[in-house]
Each structure stands twice: as C-alpha cells, then as structure tokens.
Amino acid sequence: MIGKWKKINSKVVYKSPRFNIHEDAVILPDGSKGKYFYRKSGAGVAIIPFDGKKIYLVNQFRYVIGRRLWELPIGKAESKNYLAQAKKELKEETGFYAKTWKYLGMFYPTPGSGDSQGRVFFAQNLVTGQHNREPGESDMIMKGFTFQELEKMIVNGRIIDAWTISALYMYKLKFKI
C-alpha cells in the first residue's frame, strides 16, 4: 500500500542508458483499477558556481525543446557520492575547480511523472581550468551573472529551466539574499 494507492505489479516497458519507463498496475484511492506510467532516472546534481561576485551559468541547446537555455551546470549522478559527481560536472562543463563546497539540499523536479531528484551544491573559491565537455555540449557558452541579474532573467523568461530556478531559490533562502 502506498498512501491510498495499491501497487498490484510493475514492469519496465522501456530501457535506455539514461532512464527506464515503468508501467504499474494499481488500485486507485476510489477503488478502481488503473495503470500508472513513470520514468525512473535517479538523482542528478546542480552546481551554483560563485566567484564572490557572480554566479556562472552555461547556455546550451536543448534538443527536446529545440532551443538554447541558460542553466546552472547540471548532470546525472552516476553514484550516490553526489559531491564527487558535482565536482566532476563543474569541471566538465565550466573548467572550474572549487576549493569550498556546501550542500544546499534536494528537490523532486517532476514527482508526478518521475523519480528524478535534484541535489544542489554551492561551489566557491573557484579556480579556472580547462573544461572537458561532452560532444553534445561542444557549443556550450559560459557567463557570470550577479544574483540580481539572474532574478531579472527568471522574471523576464530568460531562465526557464526548473532545476536552475529551484537551485537558485534554495540559494536565496539558505543565504538570505
């Protein structure tokens, strides 16, 4: 029993290297039977790279929606060592190495359709290095913004990525900006 839902059975209907699609036979809270489809993709990390004045975002083309987006460095966690994954992702996308790290918390970006979890890290005391981007990130651009500029970008619809908005809001609340 899950809340007032009951799972009868579950099967994987699609597998990929990035996620699996599951189909569960369920009994709904009203007693009727139904099917529930959801995506299992696990956790990812979002990094807020801060140089003392600016937060760095990357701009990249997102194939599914057919446009470029401003985002924090974000990546899939390959293990439960989320800090190690955050360090790897920061280096890969920006070239930065951070001397100081702080875990800000986690969130579920799509709890109605998937189990994805976002783990948010604040990275500061940045040291510049060489990025190591994946082939799909070869046209990625990086730029620093003040927090006030980022808030305006969210309000004006220039930042529309849920992971970035959620992580920046966590940052704002944690540091009382």
CATH numbers and ranges of domains, the chain: 6-40 (no CATH), 43-175 (3.90.79.10)
pLDDT at residue 2, rounded to an integer: 59
Cα–Cα distance for residue pair 43/86, rounded to 1 Å: 11
Please give the chain's pLDDT, 177 residues, in tens.
556 899 999 999 999 988 999 999 999 999 999 999 999 998 999 999 999 999 999 999 999 999 999 999 999 999 999 999 999 999 999 999 999 999 999 999 999 999 999 999 999 999 999 999 989 888 999 999 999 999 999 999 999 999 999 999 999 999 988
What is the rounded radius of gyration, in angstroms, for the C-alpha atoms of the chain? 18
Looking at residue 18, its pLDDT comes to 87
pTM metric for this prediction? 0.92
The pLDDT, as a whole number, for residue 3 is: 67
d(CA 75, CA 40) in angstroms, rounded, equals: 15
Confirm if 46 and 163 have CB atoms less than 8 A apart.
yes
Contact between residue 117 and residue 108 where contact means Cβ atoms under 8 Å apart: yes
